[in-house]
Amino acid sequence: MTEKETHWSRFAADFEERNEYVVGKAEIELILRKVAEQKSLGRTLELACGAGTYTQVLAKEAELLYATDLSDEMLVVARKKLPSFSNVRLEKADCFNLPYENNSFDTVFMANLLHIIPEPENAVTEATRVLKDNGRLIALSFTTEGMTFLNKLKMGYRYLRTYGKPPADGQQLTVEGARMMMESRSLTVITAELIGHNVKAVFVIARGNGEV
């Protein structure tokens, strides 16, 4: 088990409740609605599915959805939540070394992954490898960009109470940072924006062009 997996695994049992406390239920619902706007996802890969918060929404539009995470504990929790979806396969996978073929997914989705891993651009490279030409990459990550000082302070306090000190190798994602990361991997950025009210998330949609 890697150090990173250990970090998130210990919060698996009540991960969604913890997140709702830190970020706010209304903000998560807003993001879920944004994700639900993405239609006809086709054969889909979700990286770092965690407790399956976004998996349920993706499953409604995916032909076949591989929901993956490095943490066995997270996969156990996600599995309990998803029995009604016959098109979902829960699998253990490391986003830096995916056990899938080149050009095999119409959509790759990742929520709250890029800002918690070291060298997130390598995860984007790997995601791009498995993405079909012209496939859709959707990435979202909570960020403090665009938040008021007071809201940053309040969320920082809730985060510390809930998760303790953040792992040292994560780094804040910004809209411009995400755009550059995608473009440096030869993806064409369709949307790169901040969403949310009191709490913000970077939301990016990009298209693969088969150059990786």
Ligand X SMILES: C[S@@+](CC[C@H](N)C(=O)[O-])C[C@H]1O[C@@H](n2cnc3c(N)ncnc32)[C@H](O)[C@@H]1O
Task: List interacting residues with ligand X (CB under 6 A).
Answer: 4-5, 8, 19, 47-50, 53, 69-71, 74, 94-96, 111-113, 116-117
Nearer of residues 5 and 209 to ligand X, judged by Cβ: 5
Minimum distance from residue 53 beta carbon to ligand X (Å): 4
Minimum CB separation of residue 167 from ligand X in Å reads 9
Supply the minimum distance, in Å, between the C-beta of residue 93 and ligand X: 6
Rounded to a whole number of angstroms, the distance between the first and last alpha carbons of the chain is: 29
- Cβ–Cβ under 8 Å, residues 69 and 116: no
Which of 121, 123, 136 is CA-nearest to residue 177?
A: 121
Neighbours of 11 (CB within 10 A): 21
- Measured from the CB atom, the residue of 19 and 56 that comes closer to ligand X is 19
Q: Which is nearer to ligand X, 125 or 209 (CB)?
A: 125
Residue 132 one-letter amino acid: K
Residue 77 or 192 having the CB closest to ligand X: 77
3-state helix, strand, coil in the chain (%, to 5): 40, 25, 35
Nearest distance in Å: CB 76, ligand X: 12
Residue with CB nearest ligand X?
A: 50
Q: What are phi and psi of 82, to 5 degrees?
A: -115, 20
C-beta of 4 vs 152, nearer to ligand X? 4
Give the shortest CB-203-to-ligand X separation in angstroms: 12
- Amino acid 199 reads V
Measured CA distances, 12 to 30, 143, 157, 160, 201 (Å): 22, 21, 20, 17, 22
